Amino acid sequence: MHVLINLFLNTVAVMVGAYLLPGVDVAGFWTALVAAVVIGIINAVLKPILIILTLPINILTLGLLTFVINAMLILLASVLVSGFDVANFWSALLFSLLLSLFSLVFNTHRAEYRSGYRK
């Protein structure tokens, strides 16, 4: 159940990001769902490898290279998923920042809910 909720929230985040950013287009809900799955798989498989390979440069840039890696992975997902189009690098960078922000909010809320802390 936890995986399905995560998948739904990521799909909503992809759709909201496509709505808010002019350089990102999603054909519909099912395309956003596929894009969320592909982005999740890419982040689980490729991102750790790229972070380790670029660790010295990432340390020199104080972690800013991670934003570039995220944008490139979003561009890769847009190549792999038809109907999910990202116009350029800057749109991908903003989209990855927006997805990270949504993920932070969702995970923080879920952690508060699980710990029993509610306002």
Give the rounded percent of residues in the chain with a pLDDT score beyond 70. Answer: 92
H runs (alpha helix) in the chain: 2-20, 29-53, 55-60, 65-80, 89-115
- Average pLDDT rounded to a whole number, residues 32-39: 96
Give me the residue spans of the domains in the chain. Answer: 2-115
Q: What is the DSSP letter of 58?
A: H
Which of 35, 46, 90, 40 lies closest to 68 in space, CA to CA? 90
Tens of pLDDT along 85-112?
999 999 999 999 999 999 888 877 766 6
Question: 36: pLDDT confidence band, cut at 50, 70 and 90?
Answer: very high
